[in-house]
């Protein structure tokens, strides 16, 4: 897939938590019925599907987040500088990006879906606790019939409602992370400032993952 591997992602997650620079989204994505696909069409088909899934995830994120192959048919995503509403919107659109159209292998059309679990990581959160929340949300999605996304709000997992227009992400990182209301008379951060902050966070995360890759922990085939 060319994506970073599990060890690089775990290190990036710890790095992002330690930064404490604001809330970010953590998502776990699992390809539904992947073993059946391998059994029916062979491992080369499975390999090509994994590459196709990774390409769709990266294309939809378009530099707004980090995606890694966490192991087997499981992917992990970090999206910095985002709120709960934006995280859920992106989660549903990532799910839709895979299910929207079939994959092709040797003139065979392969319909595919993913299950997704997401959570928001806030300042003071523990990396392991955040990972457990996203993992619990993922398995809730799988137990609920697959091809769906769930969000863990720290107490409960709830299904993310279907987005009626899931063709594109909101325009720019500022739209994904709307600022809280500012007190009367006090100017809020400009759109350019929010975009710059997002770019800085994203660049830091990419840089950290590349450093880990340079130590022999990335990318996966």
Residues noted as catalytic: 73
Q: How many residues does the chain have?
A: 221
Residue 113 tokens read as 């879906």
CB 125, CB 158: distance < 8 Å: no
Q: Where are the alpha helices (DSSP H) in the chain?
A: 6-19, 34-41, 43-61, 84-99, 127-143, 172-176, 191-212
Contacts of residue 123, Cβ cutoff 8 Å, sequence gap at least 6 = 20, 22, 23
């Amino acid at each position: 897939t060319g994506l970073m591997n599990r060890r690089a992602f775990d290190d990036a997650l710890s790095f992002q938590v330690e930064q404490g620079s604001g809330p970010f989204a953590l998502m776990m994505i699992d390809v539904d019925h992947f073993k059946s696909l391998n059994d029916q069409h062979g491992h080369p088909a499975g390999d090509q599907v994994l590459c196709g899934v990774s390409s769709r995830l990266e294309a939809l994120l378009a530099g707004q987040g980090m995606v890694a192959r966490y192991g087997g048919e499981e992917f992990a995503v970090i999206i910095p500088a985002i709120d709960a509403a934006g995280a859920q919107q992106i989660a549903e659109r990532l799910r839709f990006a895979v299910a929207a159209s079939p994959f092709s292998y040797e003139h065979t059309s392969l319909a595919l879906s993913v299950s997704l679990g997401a959570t928001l990581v806030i300042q003071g959160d523990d990396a392991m606790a955040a990972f457990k929340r996203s993992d619990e949300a993922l398995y809730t999605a799988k137990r609920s019939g697959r091809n769906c996304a769930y969000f863990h709000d720290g107490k409960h997992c709830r299904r993310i409602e279907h987005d009626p227009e899931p063709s594109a992400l909101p325009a720019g990182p500022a739209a994904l992370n709307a600022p809280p209301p500012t007190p009367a008379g006090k100017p809020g951060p400009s759109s350019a400032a929010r975009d710059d902050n997002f770019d800085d966070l994203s660049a830091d995360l990419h840089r950290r993952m590349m450093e880990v890759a340079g130590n022999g922990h990335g990318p996966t085939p």
